[in-house]
Amino acid sequence: MALVTGIMIGGWFFGGNEPAGQDRRSAGAEPGCTEYECRDKDSQRLGCHIGAWTAAATWSGRTYIELRYSPRRRAAWARITDAEVGDTARVEGPKGVHNQRSVTYENDTYSPMVEAAYPAAARACGVVRGKEVCTPQGGSSPLPPALTDEREPARKAAPTESGTETGTETGTEKGAGTSG
């Protein structure tokens, strides 16, 4: 009994009282990177997706392409959802800097980050079933929140009307950003 009590007190004393799954290092921590320091890095592993928002978005068939932007990190990345294995998310930043990642399993992915002092400094592209589709440059305010957070694919239905898939106003639908 004394051993069990000692273990419980020790666990509480050395941080066992925090909610399960909470990462003490990232809870309220300062950014691990800012602008150019974020280039080629993973937004989720650094916690950049917290407070990030969708600055531009478009559709390619049923695949949703988003430009994600972190004002705290001044960095951007591309995210595609409802895609197929082999489809690619690419973010393009200032001065020709770009990063990309392809879907390797499941149906979504996001690219590594590029520096972007403001959302209009970047755009997102998706290569979906061999066809490239890009968002416009990022806007200055977040698009409406999506139904899911950054860790889950967006589950908004694809637009029903057909149109061009060039990322221009015709044939695209803006909206459904994420809050994560």
Question: What pLDDT, on a 0 to 100 scale, did the predictor assign at position 120?
Answer: 97
Q: What tens digit of pLDDT does each residue of 40-81 get? A: 999 999 999 999 999 999 999 999 999 999 999 999 999 999
SS3 6: helix
Cβ(76)–Cβ(67) below 8 Å = yes
Question: What pLDDT, on a 0 to 100 scale, did the predictor assign at position 5?
Answer: 56
Question: What pLDDT, on a 0 to 100 scale, did the predictor assign at position 151?
Answer: 53
Phi, psi of 132 (to 5 degrees): -90, 130
Q: Which of 77, 83, 71, 88 is nearest to 40 (CA)?
A: 77
Q: What tokens does 169 get? A: 């106003």
Q: What tens digit of pLDDT does each residue of 3-36 get? A: 555 555 544 444 444 444 444 344 445 557 999 9
Q: What tens digit of pLDDT does each residue of 147-162 get? A: 444 555 444 555 554 4
Q: What tens digit of pLDDT does each residue of 74-122 get? A: 999 999 999 999 999 999 999 999 999 999 999 999 999 999 999 999 9
Pairing verdict, β 123-128 and 131-134: antiparallel
